Structure 1
Amino acid sequence: MPSRTNRRPTDTLAPHAELIDGEADALQDPALLRRLLRAKDRMDAASHEAWPVKRLADVSGVSEAHFARSFKRAFGIPPHRYLLTRRIEQAVTLLRDTGLGITDIAFATGWESLGTFGRVFRDITGRNPGAMRAEAQANAGPVDRVPACVLKAAQRPDLTIAVLEKRRRTAGDTVQPSTREES
């Protein structure tokens, strides 16, 4: 074993590097990926339902912390943001293709508050639901030949950053973070 004075800086990082490699190997585990996909499929099938991490972890058969870490690593976004994406996609489809009222759409897609639905919808899409509906009806063209999966992918909202972070950026950092450290 080299002495402390002869160690290279990378020698002290080796345990951390092994941890990262171990986590990367865990994502290659087909059983874990199947479990994560099972939870993702359940969210897709019932995006209007409440899906706390505990419930998703139970579906996957892993701990809450392990599920949250693995889901984000596998799909690129945390489970909550994935669920928000699905709910907004569903709401956009209902706004475009049905005559349902905005309140009915909000409740049908899993929102408990019309105000929260409107705020999050505007934060994610850049337009309020009424404006989105008017724009979709004005631009209605022959989309009956386009597969639904292609339409959804083209209209998928970008949720690579948190909604609160988007608000903070647009407000010029005038919105204070919701968490604070206390001693």
Structure 2
Amino acid sequence: MSGPDATRQHLRDLALLRRVRDRIDREYAQPLNVEALARGVHMSAGHLSRRFRAAYGESPYSYLMTRRIERAMALLLRGDLSVTEVCFAVGCSSLGTFSTRFTELVGMSPSAYRRQAPRATQGMPPCVAKRVTRPVRNREAPVAGRG
């Protein structure tokens, strides 16, 4: 397919991918998986994953986990929930997977983040603090003591 038909199809695909991304942003705490997301836009899971990665630079699962970790960071700073409660509140069903992914994206464990983050952003305007503490996508955060 080429020309105007290909352009129309590409624009339709982008609109569907935006719907998937918006659903992840809204429903990150729900039990979502690539198959369910793909069914919602009438694509196969493989096709959705390929198109999503081409459009946004990461897989739908990676995007979902980043959203969950961002929300977890905010909940951990609030301080009224345990790490386990935060894990479940953001839609993760395994504390081990949550802690591993959190450490990969943030560069420290959830417990260490809770202890250290308030001091690291002290005195910064909230908009700057949010940008500085945003999880790193598509690459692991540097691990303290390595590298």
TM-score category, normalised to shorter length: 0.7 to 0.9
Sort the Cα spacing of 1:140 and 1:77 in 2 relative to 1 into closer, same or farther, 3 A: closer
- Report how far residue 111 of structure 1 moved: 1.4
- SS across alignment from 1:118: helix
Q: 2-side partners of 1:76 and 1:27: how far apart?
A: 22
1:134 corresponds to: 115
CA RMSD of aligned residues (A): 3.0
- CA 1:153–1:73: 2 relative to 1, 3 Å: farther
1:51 partnered with 2:32:
yes
- Number of residue equivalences: 141
Q: Distance in 2 between matches of 1:27 and 1:117?
A: 39
Matched, 1:80 2:61: yes
In the alignment, the residues of structure 2 paired with residue 89 and residue 105 of structure 1 have an alpha-carbon distance, to the nearest angstrom, of: 11
TM-score calculated relative to the size of structure 2: 0.79
2:102 pairs, out of 98, 107, 121, with: 121
Q: Which amino acid aligns with 1:45?
A: R
Of structures 1 and 2, the larger Rg is shown by: 1
Q: TM-score, normalised by structure 1?
A: 0.65
Q: Give, in whole Å, the separation in 2 of the partners of 1:153 and 1:26.
A: 35
- After TM superposition, the structure 1 = structure 2 runs for residues 24-43 of structure 1, keeping only pairs within 5 Å, are 29-43=10-24
Task: State the structure with bigger RCO (CA 8 A, min sep 6), 1 or 2.
Answer: 2
SS at match of 1:29: helix
Gaps of 5+ in 2: none
Tell me whether 1:110 sits opposite 2:110 in the alignment: no
Report the alpha carbon displacement of residue 65 of structure 1 after superposing the two structures with TM. 2.1
Q: 1:159 to 1:127 in 2, by over 3 A?
A: same
